[in-house]
Amino acid sequence: MKIMVCIKQVPDDSVKIELDESTGKPSVEGVEPIVNAFDTYALEMAARFLETGIEGEITTITMGDENSKSSIKNCLAVGASHGYVLHDDLFEGSDAQGTAYALGCAVRKIARDEGGDFDIVFCGIETSDETSGQTGPMLAESLGYSLVTNVIALEKKDGVLHVKQETEDGYNIVETPMPCVLTAARPNYDPRYPTIKSKMAARKMPIGELSAADIGARSDKTGESASLVKTIELAAPPKRKAGIKINEEDIEEASLKAFSIMTDANVL
């Protein structure tokens, strides 16, 4: 079983990020880069899947700059065996489709080099920085693989992959042929922590670097010029107005006050 997990390095989403008025971009300086949370769920699900006694290996890939190697290293410390960074000026400014195209080229290229197709290509459902949620499905399209979204567990039964897909009000169990693309939602556990040992070992593992030429990506299909989606402007959500405090101690009086405020505001 060969599993590819696609990850993206994003700014730590536990930090409140403001829009920089002068550049119109989010100011992320000094914010720790981390692996997108949904991608860490994908990796953890893949690792747990293999730990059920399935022989196989996990490869991770990210499209990003030189310093996204540190995110790949983090993945190598928590279950991945191989890591790649896809980096080229050509990829700058890609939209989701351009990114999915490039990842697709890379997945095929690595499969050729490592001698065999990936059975599962795993992504997070979305990233915490751009939250477009399109890369996974577009990657499935680009590779021509089947797709299951919102995955929270997987199991192999009689040679068939059974995938638990989260829905609004429960879950579906879906059978899918392989190769397939899966996008991970949040399972009911947290990803493992790297151990001191696994981190030290991961630091010594080689990380492959791939350029557009290496993977045979075409310039008319990826990068800014090929982008169908253009970001015109980023805007911060409007600041919420301060609410009205009801200070009455008595419940009855407090309710009456609430009602009178609501009638005054013509919402009742």
Partner 1 sequence: MAYIISDEAKDLLKDVKNFCDNEVLEQCKEFDRTGEYPADLFAQAGELGFTSLEIPEEFGGPGLSRVDTAALLEEMARADAGFATVISATGLGLKPVLIAGSDEQKQRAADLLMEGGLAAFCLTEPGAGSDAGSGKTSAVRDGDEYVINGRKCFITNGGHAQFYCVTAMTAKDAGVKGMSMFFVEKDTPGLSFGEHEDKMGIRTSSTCDVVFEDCRVPASAMIGEEGTGFETAMKTLDQARAWVGVLAVGIAQRAMDEAVAYGKERVQFGASILKQQALRFKVADMQIKIETARQMCAYALNLMDAGEPFAKESAIAKVYGSDIANECAAEAVQMFGGYGYIRDYPVEKLIRDAKIFQIFEGTNEIQRVVIANHVIGRI
Instruction: Give dist(CA 45, CA 43) in Å, integer.
Output: 5
Nearer to partner 1, 195 or 263 (CB): 195
C-alpha angle with apex 58: 144 to 204, nearest 5 degrees?
135
Which three-class secondary structure string do you get for the chain? CEEEEEECEEECCCCCCCEECCCCEECCCCCCEEECHHHHHHHHHHHHHHHCCCCCEEEEEEECCHHHHHHHHHHHCCCCCEEEEECCHHHCCCCHHHHHHHHHHHHHHHHHHHCCCCCEEEEECCCCCCCCCCHHHHHHHHHCCEEEEEEEEEEEECCEEEEEEEECCEEEEEEECCCEEEEECCCCCCCCCCCHHHHHHHHHCCEEEECHHHHCCCCCCCCHHHCCCCCCCCCCCCCCCCCCCCCCCCHHHHHHHHHHHHHHCCCC
Q: Does 235 bind partner 1 (CB under 8 A)?
A: no
Among 15, 160, 173, 200, binds partner 1 (CB under 8 A): 200
Q: How far is the CB of 73 from partner 1 (least distance, A)?
A: 7
Strand partners, 209: 85
Q: Site map for partner 1, 76-95, x if CB under 8 A?
A: -x------------------
Among 108, 199, 221, 257, binds partner 1 (CB under 8 A): 199
Q: Site map for partner 1, 12-51, x if CB under 8 A?
A: --------------------x-------------------
Q: Which stretch binds partner 1 (CB under 8 A): 69-77, 161-169, 179-187, 217-225?
A: 69-77
Cβ contact 180:154 at 8 Å:
no
Among 67, 132, 172, 195, binds partner 1 (CB under 8 A): 195
C-alpha angle with apex 198: 193 to 202, nearest 5 degrees?
115
Among 157, 197, 230, 240, binds partner 1 (CB under 8 A): 197
Q: How far is the CB of 196 from partner 1 (least distance, A)?
A: 3
Q: Which stretch binds partner 1 (CB under 8 A): 44-52, 81-89, 113-121, 197-205?
A: 197-205
Nearer to partner 1, 74 or 97 (CB): 74
Q: How far is the CB of 71 from partner 1 (least distance, A)?
A: 12
Q: How far is the CB of 244 from partner 1 (least distance, A)?
A: 21
Nearer to partner 1, 193 or 265 (CB): 193
Among 157, 196, 230, 239, binds partner 1 (CB under 8 A): 196
Q: Does 156 bind partner 1 (CB under 8 A)?
A: no
Q: Does 73 bind partner 1 (CB under 8 A)?
A: yes
Chain positions contacting partner 1, by CB under 8 A: 32, 70, 73, 77, 193-197, 199-200, 203
